């Protein structure tokens, strides 16, 4: 009897402290991700091709033979591109762009041909520097692809100084497009992650009407997301074009397991007292269906590993890992929160019954 009581106390202690341990784990994982994981999407000019793709290999071979500089084109439109004022402003713009460390060379009407008339006489300069409609000219830049983020930031600062209604400037080129994609992906990553956390948290609170269950779902799903990002970073995988919203995908996958487990827990408890330790039973009840659901999701993501496109392969790796991690977190962590919520309900029901018995005894004595 003494040994059974001791085991019961240990089991109750585990149920009492399990949810706090997982809350502490969330803080720990958050710190590790903030320290070791680069949450900025990585997008370069060859983001679509894998390193073993024949096209990428041929491109690398050409770069080694003739140099690997990237090209940027700055189009500058004005009412009259042959005016001295336009050429003077274009010359100052060319000089400031050429002063950027990552820029190897710059060609424009102010630094190449003698003047606009000379450029018009040359088929080479005409095609390279002057637009077909004659309303704008090009500043052609050859740049190093090593640090595109810093390069584009410096270029945008220079362009902002010269841009005006009579001197309209637009930037084009692979490094610029890649940087714009990266910025939009980073914005989407932040917006979708916060929206998923708040929106699904509010829906679960309305649906199950329990702060403890809602907190448990958010903690479990967050741990699944953080663990997935941390494991990916440990294996050298960076956030790419299609994996920028991987966190939202993993969050939803984990939440689907928790919704069914919570429903089964409510079915088992049936509103009766003693529902404080039904988390493990709800886990066993939900496990078979959830397992095969995880297997199907993993196989679906794994099928992307056979395609040649690099972003799809990255999504395949991240999705497969995320599906497995979401399943593990759901079944290792969430039952503790179910027991926590059930224990509170059991205490409330016991208090209500004790109050009812006291009233009946008082009536009997009277």
In this structure, the answer to whether residues 74 and 194 fall within a common structural domain is no
Nearest to 274, CA basis, from 177, 157, 179, 353: 353
In this prediction the pTM is 0.74
pLDDT at 97: 92
In this structure, the answer to whether residues 285 and 360 fall within a common structural domain is yes
Residue 69, CA atoms < 13 Å, CB-side half-sphere: 13
Residue 3 forms part of a structural domain: no
Q: Is the dihedral of CA 297, 298, 304, 306 positive or negative?
A: negative
168 has a pLDDT exceeding 90: yes
Domain boundary among 146, 178, 210: 178
User: What's the domain count of the chain?
Assistant: 2
Residue 55 forms part of a structural domain: no
In this structure, the answer to whether residues 147 and 202 fall within a common structural domain is no
pLDDT in tens, 72-94: 999 999 988 888 898 889 999 99
Q: Is the dihedral of CA 76, 77, 80, 86 positive or negative?
A: negative
pLDDT bin (cut points 50, 70, 90) of residue 348 is very low
As a whole number of angstroms, the distance between CA 276 and CA 269 comes to: 9
- Name the helix (H) or strand (E) containing 107: strand 103-107
273 has a pLDDT exceeding 90: no
In this structure, the answer to whether residues 261 and 277 fall within a common structural domain is yes
Q: Write the CATH number for 170.
A: 3.30.70.1320
Q: Write the CATH number for 353.
A: 1.20.1640.10
Range of the domain at 28: 14-47+184-365
Phi/psi-derived region of residue 113, left when phi > 0, alpha when psi is between -120 and 50, beta in every other case: beta
For 58, 63, 173, 174, 339, the CA distances from 55, given in Å and listed in that order, are: 5, 12, 19, 16, 56
pLDDT bin (cut points 50, 70, 90) of residue 30 is very high
In this structure, the answer to whether residues 99 and 221 fall within a common structural domain is no
pLDDT bin (cut points 50, 70, 90) of residue 174 is confident
pLDDT bin (cut points 50, 70, 90) of residue 10 is very low
């Amino acid at each position: 009897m003494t040994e059974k009581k001791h085991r019961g106390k240990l089991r109750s202690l585990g149920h009492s402290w399990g949810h706090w341990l997982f809350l502490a784990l969330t803080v720990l994982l958050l710190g590790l991700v903030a320290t070791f994981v680069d949450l900025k999407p990585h997008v370069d000019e060859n983001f679509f091709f894998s390193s073993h793709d024949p096209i990428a290999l041929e491109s690398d071979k050409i770069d080694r033979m003739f140099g690997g500089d990237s090209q940027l084109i700055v189009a500058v439109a004005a009412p009259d591109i042959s005016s001295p004022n336009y050429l003077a402003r274009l010359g100052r713009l060319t000089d400031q762009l050429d002063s950027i460390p990552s820029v190897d060379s710059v060609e424009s009407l102010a630094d190449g041909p003698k003047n606009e008339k000379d450029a018009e006489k040359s088929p080479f300069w005409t095609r390279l520097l002057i637009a077909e409609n004659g309303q704008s000219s090009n500043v052609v830049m050859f740049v190093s692809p090593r640090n595109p983020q810093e390069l584009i930031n410096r270029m945008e600062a220079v362009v902002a100084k010269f841009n005006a209604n009579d001197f309209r400037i637009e930037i084009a080129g692979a490094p610029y497009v890649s940087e714009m994609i990266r910025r939009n992906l980073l914005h989407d990553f932040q917006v979708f992650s916060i929206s998923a956390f708040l929106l699904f948290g509010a829906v679960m609170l309305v649906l199950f009407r329990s702060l403890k269950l809602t907190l448990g779902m958010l903690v479990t799903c967050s741990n699944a997301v953080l663990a997935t990002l941390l494991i990916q970073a440990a294996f050298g995988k960076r956030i790419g074009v299609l994996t920028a919203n991987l966190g939202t995908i993993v969050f939803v996958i984990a939440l689907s397991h928790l919704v069914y487990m919570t429903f089964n827990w409510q079915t088992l408890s049936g509103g009766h007292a003693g529902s404080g330790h039904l988390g493990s039973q709800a886990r066993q009840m939900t496990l078979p269906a959830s397992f095969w659901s995880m297997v199907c999701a993993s196989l679906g993501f794994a099928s992307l590993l056979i395609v040649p496109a690099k972003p799809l392969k990255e999504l395949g790796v991240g999705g497969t890992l995320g599906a497995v991690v979401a399943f593990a977190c759901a079944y290792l962590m969430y039952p503790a929160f179910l027991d926590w919520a059930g224990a509170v309900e059991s205490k409330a029901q016991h208090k209500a019954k004790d109050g009812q018995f006291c009233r009946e005894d008082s009536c009997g004595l009277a």
